[in-house]
Amino acid sequence: MSIQQLFGRFHKEIKVETDELREKRDILIDKIRASLKKAGHPLPDLLNQGSYIYGVGVKPVGDVEYDIDVGLDFPIKSSEYDAKTVRKWVHDAVADHTDNVEDRGPCIRVRYAAGYHVDLVVYARYKNIDGVEDYQLAQKNGEWKPSEPKKLKEFISNARKPFADTKDTSGSDQLQRVTRYLKRWNDIDIPDDSPDKPFGLATLLLVIKHLIAPVVDQDGTPNDLDALIRVAHAVKMTFGRIIVKKPTQEFEDVFSKLSDAAMERLKKRFDSLLTDLQSARTKDDDAVAKILRKQFGDDFPESLRKSEDLSNDHGARADAVSDMRAAIPSFSNPSRPWCDD
Amino acid sequence: MTEANIWWRKSPEEFDRFKRELEAFETLSFQVEGDLVSVHGSWAVFGESKLITRYEVKIELPDDFPQSAPRVFEVGGRIPKEPDYHINPGDNSACVFAQPERYEKWPPGSGIRDFLNGPMKEFFFSQAFRELNGTWPFGEWSHGGEGILEYYASRLGTGDLGTLRELLKLALLPKLYRQWPCPCNPEVRVTACHADRVRTLSGLIPRDEIDLAIRLAQLELNQGTKSVRIHPKK
């Protein structure tokens, strides 16, 4: 189905390729561990978390930086350390390598000139005598907050299981793709960090809540358009605020940071999205592309033909340009395009 | 326009000529819906040695064809329907040439073959090149009246608006007298300077178009604009 192909190309455009980010993360972690060791502090394990480990990372729009979340998991008992102290270990270890460190609410942010930042989230991990792991998140105010990063990861992993047959060639399933579409949709509306913009995790959990099973055509092909419609429709049917509880401690509403005004705006945007998605069902591919570019921005393909004909293959493109340049002298006094506006 | 005045009804010979000329373009075919004759199909853009791409197109022939020029539409969704891509905002037709340039490139009475081999081919070559390379291979006219003045400035070889206005006025006169000074330089006779260019223009372009350009130039001068861009012929 060609609308699905349009979504496929869109997904390819917005998906973050994780290999490069992983490499950057590993270099930083090695440096931090070396500095901590030198200072005589306990050494943390790496805890993969965040959007790219859930497979829902999207490329930022405009000048916004790439964001890498890294959990640093210290083998310590939270009751024996002040959260501020442990955060300071990390802060000082990073400061050995760069001047651009910010102590933010839930994390320590390291900015790189190359257009990305790494958010370091600090945990204390203690295994009790029954072998149960207790994670506490170090907050800026010095307090520890119960957290279950591994359980959250497991929850997401379980939610993805029914979608195993909907994977595309890059290995992303429908749940991940729909989450990416909606994250980009939010980024188009508000590119920067903002209290008015839902967290990426909130969008993922919203999709998990409303997309319980894959949406496929009769022949079994995934139908991402209808999957998006299902999520948008469920939001439209929600009375009052969108509420999605985190499935792990402290079971908070992941949309609670949005003000009432921002929530109202988000719901209106979902209404508009639903209208456009539903109208796309009855349109031809090019009309669909036009409608959906309005919602999802310029990375949504203008048409399949364009993507197929003038491919992004730089070599082929350079050859075509060179061949066209050679043809230019054969035009004698060509007309120039104009516009009567 | 009454039915009897529709070009293909009024002139079966012209319609035959149209059909004969169109046959040479294998990927295009025409259809008649009511009074409207339109051409549909794909338009291939070639470089020096190979096919670069194809565009889906529709061409509508005006009721008074071949007096008025065909209207071209890119219907495959490849070209954004925006003025900066040289698509008319009113009807999404392609701006294949500037208003007065039409008389030079496709004079009234010309056939569909010349239209396709000229402005149509050049327009889609430009679009494909722009799509690949981000630039217009033959340049582009500014939008609206400014583009019209650029056309005359380029053909008359002066970007000075005051001089341009006076040269255009000369183009409306039946005769240029040899003792007259040239608007570009009072020391030089017009017959030894701009006369040939002025005569070429007045031979190509209807008086009302030139008159429009004079008024556009005056408007710009009133607003303090002194000059327009010149695009040399390629």
Is the CB of residue B67 less than 8 Å from the CB of residue A320? no
What is the count of structural domains for chain A?
A: 2
Is A286 in contact with B76 (Cβ distance < 8 A)? yes
Residue A49: CATH number of its domain: 3.30.460.90
User: Are B9 and B110 members of one domain?
Assistant: yes
When the pLDDT of each residue in chain A is averaged and rounded to a whole number, the result is 87
Is B138 in contact with A334 (Cβ distance < 8 A)? yes
Is A327 in contact with B48 (Cβ distance < 8 A)? yes
User: Are B102 and B159 members of one domain?
Assistant: no
DSSP A42: P
Mean pLDDT, rounded, for B178-186 = 92
Task: For A60-96, give the DSSP string.
Answer: PPTTPPEEEEEEEEE-S-GGGS-HHHHHHHHHHHHHT
CA distances to B18, B86, B170, B224 from B227, rounded to whole Å, are: 42, 23, 19, 9
User: Are A158 and A258 members of one domain?
Assistant: yes
Does the pLDDT of residue A308 top 60, yes or no? no
What pLDDT shows up at residue A266? 96
Is B77 in contact with A337 (Cβ distance < 8 A)? no
Nearest to A289 among B77, B119, B133 (CB): B77
Residue B139 maps to a domain:
no
How far away is chain B from the Cα of A224, in angstroms, using its nearest Cα?
A: 22
Residue A140 maps to a domain:
yes
User: Are B115 and B148 members of one domain?
Assistant: no
User: Are B162 and B124 members of one domain?
Assistant: no
Q: Which helix (H) or strand (E) holds B102?
A: helix B101-105
User: Are B43 and B100 members of one domain?
Assistant: yes
User: Are B88 and B161 members of one domain?
Assistant: no
Residue B113 maps to a domain:
yes
Give the residue with greater pLDDT, B135 vs A21.
B135
What is the count of structural domains for chain B?
A: 2
User: Are A207 and A294 members of one domain?
Assistant: yes
What pLDDT shows up at residue A1? 45
User: Are A138 and A167 members of one domain?
Assistant: no
User: Are A98 and A36 members of one domain?
Assistant: yes
Residue A291 domain boundaries: 2-15+153-308
pTM: 0.55
Residue B227 maps to a domain:
no
When the pLDDT of each residue in chain B is averaged and rounded to a whole number, the result is 91
User: Are A126 and A23 members of one domain?
Assistant: yes
How far away is chain A from the Cα of B99, in angstroms, using its nearest Cα?
A: 8
User: Are B129 and B23 members of one domain?
Assistant: yes
Which range has highest mean pLDDT (A46-55, A226-235, A247-256)?
Answer: A226-235
Residue A338 maps to a domain:
no
User: Are A126 and A229 members of one domain?
Assistant: no
Residue A336 maps to a domain:
no
What pLDDT shows up at residue B146? 92
End-of-domain residue from the set A147, A168, A203: A147
Tell me the ipTM for this assembly.
Answer: 0.90
Nearest to B78 among A302, A322, A326 (CB): A302
User: Are A158 and A303 members of one domain?
Assistant: yes
User: Are A268 and A190 members of one domain?
Assistant: yes
Does the pLDDT of residue A190 top 80, yes or no? yes
Query: What residues have CB less than 8 Å from B226, skipping those under 6 apart?
Result: B160, B161, B162
3-state helix, strand and coil shares in percent for chain B, rounded to the nearest 5: 45, 20, 40
Is B132 in contact with A334 (Cβ distance < 8 A)? no
When mean pLDDT is compared across A178-182, A282-286, B110-114, B150-154, the lowest value belongs to A282-286
End-of-domain residue from the set B89, B110, B133: B133
Give the residue with greater pLDDT, B76 vs A116.
B76
End-of-domain residue from the set A115, A147, A179: A147
Question: What 3-state class would DSSP assign to B160?
Answer: strand
User: Are A76 and A221 members of one domain?
Assistant: no
pLDDT band at A60 (very low <50, low <70, confident <90, very high): confident
Angstrom distance (rounded) from CA A236 to CA B124: 44
- Strand B36-46 and strand B51-61: the pairing is antiparallel
End-of-domain residue from the set A147, A163, A179: A147
Angstrom distance (rounded) from CA A90 to CA B86: 56
Is B128 in contact with A310 (Cβ distance < 8 A)? yes
CA distances to A59, A316, B160, B167, B193 from B190, rounded to whole Å, are: 63, 52, 16, 10, 5
Is B129 in contact with A317 (Cβ distance < 8 A)? no
Angstrom distance (rounded) from CA B131 to CA A196: 37
Residue A245 maps to a domain:
yes
User: Are B32 and B62 members of one domain?
Assistant: yes
Residue A325 maps to a domain:
no
Is the CB of residue A46 less than 8 Å from the CB of residue A72? yes
Residue with tokens 């030139």: B210
- Scan residues 17-76 of B and list those with Cβ closer than 8 Å to A: 46-50, 52-54, 56, 75-76
User: Are B148 and B88 members of one domain?
Assistant: no
Residue B57 maps to a domain:
yes
What pLDDT shows up at residue A67? 80
Nearest to B122 among A334, A339, A340 (CB): A334
User: Are B17 and B92 members of one domain?
Assistant: yes
User: Are B124 and B158 members of one domain?
Assistant: no
pLDDT band at A313 (very low <50, low <70, confident <90, very high): low
Residue B40: CATH number of its domain: 3.10.110.10
Is A340 in contact with B49 (Cβ distance < 8 A)? no
Residue A7 maps to a domain:
yes
What pLDDT shows up at residue A43? 93
Mean pLDDT, rounded, for A58-87 = 88
Is B78 in contact with A289 (Cβ distance < 8 A)? no
Residue B77 maps to a domain:
yes
User: Are A177 and A205 members of one domain?
Assistant: yes
How far away is chain A from the Cα of B171, in angstroms, using its nearest Cα?
A: 22
Is B96 in contact with A306 (Cβ distance < 8 A)? no
What pLDDT shows up at residue B234? 54
End-of-domain residue from the set B114, B133, B152: B133
Mutation to test the A interface, candidates B51, B129, B151, B212, most A Cβ within 10 Å: B129
Q: Which amino acid is located at A197 in the chain?
A: K
pLDDT band at A250 (very low <50, low <70, confident <90, very high): confident
Give B-chain residues touching A290 at CB under 8 angstroms: 77
pLDDT band at A29 (very low <50, low <70, confident <90, very high): confident
User: Are B161 and B127 members of one domain?
Assistant: no
Residue B196 domain boundaries: 144-222
Does the pLDDT of residue A307 top 90, yes or no? no
Give B-chain residues touching A303 at CB under 8 angstroms: 76-78
Angstrom distance (rounded) from CA B78 to CA B165: 39
Give the residue with greater pLDDT, A87 vs B83.
A87
Mean pLDDT, rounded, for A184-206 = 92
Say if residue B37 is exposed, middle or buried (CB neighbours under 10 Å; 0-12, 13-18, 19+). buried
End-of-domain residue from the set B86, B113, B133: B133
pLDDT tens track for B203-233: 999 999 999 999 999 999 999 988 988 876 5
